[in-house]
Chains A and B, each alone.
Chain A
């Protein structure tokens, strides 16, 4: 296929023009970009809260805020990062942009519903922000009862915001399921789908099935707080442990809403940058579905010490171990894909390596928490904090950043600075490990989480952790700057700078408003690097075609 490598004059970013055309767009690519702008702002906000928390924890006692402010800070950090950043990050921002392109479709199945989901997201976010401006919640992002029933902070507006956000998530999930079923280009059978599509599909199933339970739970909480209807608060005859069951019935599958799409991205990156057919395509695809299924059956492992019955505790521990298997299978498959590959260490690939290493640590420490006696000791300590940050940041955020760097040239048609992007990924990797490796040790030593002040013996590790957070923060700020700078430098990336085989790369960068000028044809599988050699693969993909063409110009 002949595609222009220069920046196309006619593309989705500039046609049609004007703010109104953006706010009323039904183009999945533009909606993806709108989501990307929103979640980037929330990532920044949640990150600032994280840095404030780590600064307060440099020393025991009050350094810069009161205990009540600290409690609000960690609640907002958690709530913003989870509901406003991680959950929508890959599916709604990157997924919206890439899914139709990957299956050769013109758009998602319900473009208007797609736009509605963005507006619902903004509406929910406004409620959440309103609650920050009035009196920020101090309950922890889990809103445990009866603490949240008693709390005088604005729990109602925050939970109502999260309630609304849920609908946005459901709309996106529903749209993706129908899109994958109905809009695949002729010839693109299920087992020729890129693994990113499988991952988004599995995620969408969880979004549609689990999110309503969260909505019901939060609504019940609001009813209890606003009208005194006793459901969870023992003072009104309710049961606080019931709330935990309801909450985790959603929030455990939600962990997989967060990690599954990340796993999809990693499958793409590993295959493309080792120029190697992915190892065990079928196992990876089915392991996504297995994770989606088992994720519904393990919520009770958040409650081993809560006073639920010993029998439930035993059953949930047993089932929890099954969710470890499909994740392990994926990690083994990705690592084996590297074997006999032809590996290119681009920035997205460095993020994929970071993911492999950090997610492995996150997964292995999860086994500690599934084992009953060990969990009794580690539950609600910094060990748990470190574990889920290794999965959520070491896993999902690394995959998100990898995906963002991978598709950035496709989304905006420009390439970012190669040197700075590599400096940033190294800083983020080192900073992250400093921040959270120290927290594993604190946790197993017995340091409980959500502590404003702590015993002197933990100071060296807390200090080390905070310094790590600053390094990671620096890496992320650098990322923000060079990505924004790429718009100014306007170095055209070319249609397919990475030499990838999936359909999203068979169109111009940025793509045509209707994605493809003509319906793409399926001539090979998504990872057939064993059959197809890309003739015009640039020597140095991150310098794009720009260097090559410039060189030729200079020669001429």
Chain B
């Protein structure tokens, strides 16, 4: 089993990877063979048949050869048909989701990933899954097209705004795997990274249990600070007063905020709650209405904690 990766390929960590890699290496060696054949031909002929000084005689090489020309149509044709069937069979396996797979909802938005589990647990930018269990991903986007790409799983599927796309994988063993966004989506496309944390079955159950009670043993503002990073607020909102894609959280609470359209509002608990769940309704002047809604992605307790956190930053 390949756990470190090779010169050409990253580690293979899913049940799918082995088959993809086998075809990859078949193509690799086939390419090297044809490359040597062509380049070798060019180099050898260029040396052997180099024009001699003053030679103006005619050349006598063949102008065509039906057998040879048929051969180099038929042989490549057979080879590419083998490659087609090979790739197609693996693709069909990727397309048919096993019946017993655990379904996780994946939501992509500029520029982070969020995951919701069947029991209501949700996470951002970190997908925790058990090893050796098939996982079905039901994916959709809140804005533009993104693409769910895990190199070590040899898995990629676009995430669309107007429909669900489905894919699945089964991780081979515990460990961390990087998740990329592979479809260009704007400013922070290259920072739209996530982690697929594969754990043992037992650890996964424990993790689900703790997650269900997350924040219970912390004070709300501390828990909010944790959510601020883990749920991706940090992508656009700073806490040091600098301007990002959204306004900074520093010193906002309890102060008057100028809105788009010229009105103002005092940033109280209700305004912050509304801005999290229905962000387009009252946009701060000078910013684009690009924030996606967190409706359904955050529990009430999470919203309370975030309000408490912003409150703690706003008190002078």
- A361 and B39 CA atoms in complex are apart in Å by 10
**Chain A positions within 8 Å of B27 at CB level:** 364, 367-368, 371, 374
Question: Which among B16, B31, B52, B73 is the interface contact of A367 at CB below 8 angstroms?
Answer: B31
Near B by CB (< 8 A), chain A positions 165-191 give none
Do A371 and B31 contact each other (CB < 8 Å), given the known contacts A240-B160, A305-B157, A331-B38? no
- A457 and B215 CA atoms in complex are apart in Å by 35
**Chain B positions within 8 Å of A451 at CB level:** 189-190
Kindly provide the distance from the CB of B162 to the nearest chain A CB, expressed in whole angstroms.
3
Near B by CB (< 8 A), chain A positions 415-471 give 441, 444-446, 448-455
- Say whether A549 faces chain B, with CB atoms less than 8 Å apart: no
Kindly provide the distance from the CB of B176 to the nearest chain A CB, expressed in whole angstroms.
13
Contact assessment for A310 and B49 in the assembled complex, using a CB-CB cutoff below 8 Å = no
Question: Which among B23, B59, B158, B189 is the interface contact of A275 at CB below 8 angstroms?
Answer: B59
Contact assessment for A372 and B61 in the assembled complex, using a CB-CB cutoff below 8 Å = no
Question: Which among B23, B45, B144, B157 is the interface contact of A335 at CB below 8 angstroms?
Answer: B45
- Say whether B163 faces chain A, with CB atoms less than 8 Å apart: yes
- A340 and B65 CA atoms in complex are apart in Å by 14
Contact assessment for A310 and B91 in the assembled complex, using a CB-CB cutoff below 8 Å = yes
Contact assessment for A360 and B34 in the assembled complex, using a CB-CB cutoff below 8 Å = yes
Question: Which among A68, A235, A370, A446 is the interface contact of B149 at CB below 8 angstroms?
Answer: A446
In the complex, residue of chain A having the shortest beta-carbon distance to the beta carbon of B81: A321
| Listed stretches A144-152, A195-203, A511-519; interface member | A144-152
Contact assessment for B158 and A376 in the assembled complex, using a CB-CB cutoff below 8 Å = no
Contact assessment for A446 and B39 in the assembled complex, using a CB-CB cutoff below 8 Å = no
Contact assessment for A147 and B185 in the assembled complex, using a CB-CB cutoff below 8 Å = yes
Most buried by B among A274, A305, A371, A381: A371
- Say whether A224 faces chain B, with CB atoms less than 8 Å apart: no
- Say whether A25 faces chain B, with CB atoms less than 8 Å apart: no
- A274 and B53 CA atoms in complex are apart in Å by 14
Contact assessment for A281 and B64 in the assembled complex, using a CB-CB cutoff below 8 Å = yes
Kindly provide the distance from the CB of A363 to the nearest chain B CB, expressed in whole angstroms.
9
Do A450 and B189 contact each other (CB < 8 Å), given the known contacts A305-B157, A335-B45? yes
Question: Which among B8, B31, B42 is the interface contact of A364 at CB below 8 angstroms?
Answer: B31
| Listed stretches A399-407, A478-486, A532-540; interface member | A532-540
Contact assessment for B69 and A329 in the assembled complex, using a CB-CB cutoff below 8 Å = yes
Near A by CB (< 8 A), chain B positions 275-312 give 288
Contact assessment for B90 and A68 in the assembled complex, using a CB-CB cutoff below 8 Å = no
- A282 and B42 CA atoms in complex are apart in Å by 22
Contact assessment for A365 and B58 in the assembled complex, using a CB-CB cutoff below 8 Å = no
**Chain B positions within 8 Å of A122 at CB level:** none
Contact assessment for B46 and A353 in the assembled complex, using a CB-CB cutoff below 8 Å = yes
- A509 and B187 CA atoms in complex are apart in Å by 53
**Chain B positions within 8 Å of A123 at CB level:** none
**Chain B positions within 8 Å of A361 at CB level:** 31, 35
- A530 and B31 CA atoms in complex are apart in Å by 34
Contact assessment for B20 and A374 in the assembled complex, using a CB-CB cutoff below 8 Å = yes
- A310 and B94 CA atoms in complex are apart in Å by 10
**Chain B positions within 8 Å of A121 at CB level:** none
Contact assessment for A375 and B87 in the assembled complex, using a CB-CB cutoff below 8 Å = yes
- A305 and B94 CA atoms in complex are apart in Å by 11
Contact assessment for A373 and B64 in the assembled complex, using a CB-CB cutoff below 8 Å = no
Contact assessment for B149 and A317 in the assembled complex, using a CB-CB cutoff below 8 Å = no
- Say whether A338 faces chain B, with CB atoms less than 8 Å apart: yes
Do A371 and B83 contact each other (CB < 8 Å), given the known contacts A380-B156, A533-B56? yes
**Chain B positions within 8 Å of A317 at CB level:** 84, 87-88, 91
0/1 string, B55-77, CB within 8 A of A gives 1: 11111111111001100110011
- A144 and B160 CA atoms in complex are apart in Å by 12
**Chain A positions within 8 Å of B42 at CB level:** 335, 338, 353, 356-357
- A367 and B86 CA atoms in complex are apart in Å by 12
Kindly provide the distance from the CB of B69 to the nearest chain A CB, expressed in whole angstroms.
6
- A147 and B83 CA atoms in complex are apart in Å by 35
- Say whether B191 faces chain A, with CB atoms less than 8 Å apart: yes
Kindly provide the distance from the CB of A498 to the nearest chain B CB, expressed in whole angstroms.
12
Contact assessment for B157 and A325 in the assembled complex, using a CB-CB cutoff below 8 Å = no
Kindly provide the distance from the CB of A105 to the nearest chain B CB, expressed in whole angstroms.
27
- Say whether A14 faces chain B, with CB atoms less than 8 Å apart: no
**Chain A positions within 8 Å of B161 at CB level:** 146, 234-235, 240
- Say whether B274 faces chain A, with CB atoms less than 8 Å apart: no
**Chain A positions within 8 Å of B10 at CB level:** 445-446
In the complex, residue of chain A having the shortest beta-carbon distance to the beta carbon of B70: A283
- Say whether A54 faces chain B, with CB atoms less than 8 Å apart: no
Contact assessment for A371 and B34 in the assembled complex, using a CB-CB cutoff below 8 Å = no
| Listed stretches A155-163, A251-259, A341-349; interface member | A341-349
- A435 and B101 CA atoms in complex are apart in Å by 43
- Say whether A241 faces chain B, with CB atoms less than 8 Å apart: yes
Kindly provide the distance from the CB of B299 to the nearest chain A CB, expressed in whole angstroms.
28
Contact assessment for A338 and B49 in the assembled complex, using a CB-CB cutoff below 8 Å = yes
**Chain A positions within 8 Å of B145 at CB level:** 144, 146-147, 240
- Say whether A314 faces chain B, with CB atoms less than 8 Å apart: yes
In the complex, residue of chain A having the shortest beta-carbon distance to the beta carbon of B96: A310
Question: Which among A234, A306, A445, A446 is the interface contact of B158 at CB below 8 angstroms?
Answer: A306
Write 21 A-B pairs (CB below 8 A) sorted by A numbering.
A67-B187, A146-B161, A240-B162, A275-B51, A275-B59, A279-B62, A321-B81, A335-B41, A339-B45, A357-B39, A361-B35, A367-B83, A368-B24, A374-B20, A374-B23, A376-B155, A377-B151, A445-B10, A445-B151, A530-B60, A530-B61
Q: Name A's B-contacting residues (CB within 8 A).
A: 67-68, 71, 138, 140, 144, 146-147, 150-152, 234-235, 238-241, 274-283, 305-307, 310, 313-314, 317-318, 321-322, 324-325, 328-329, 331-333, 335-345, 353, 356-357, 360-361, 364-365, 367-368, 370-377, 379-381, 441, 444-446, 448-455, 529-535, 537, 539
Q: Across chains A and B, which 5 residue pairs bring their CB atoms closest together, nearest first? A: A446-B151, A234-B162, A340-B61, A371-B87, A373-B90
Q: Name B's A-contacting residues (CB within 8 A).
A: 5, 7-10, 16, 19-20, 23-24, 27, 30-31, 34-35, 38-39, 41-42, 45-46, 49-65, 68-69, 72-73, 76-77, 80-81, 83-84, 86-88, 90-92, 94-95, 143-145, 147, 149, 151-152, 154-158, 160-163, 165, 178, 180-191, 288
Known: A275-B59, A277-B59, A328-B76. 6 other contacts (CB 8 A): A338-B42, A342-B52, A373-B23, A377-B156, A448-B181, A530-B59
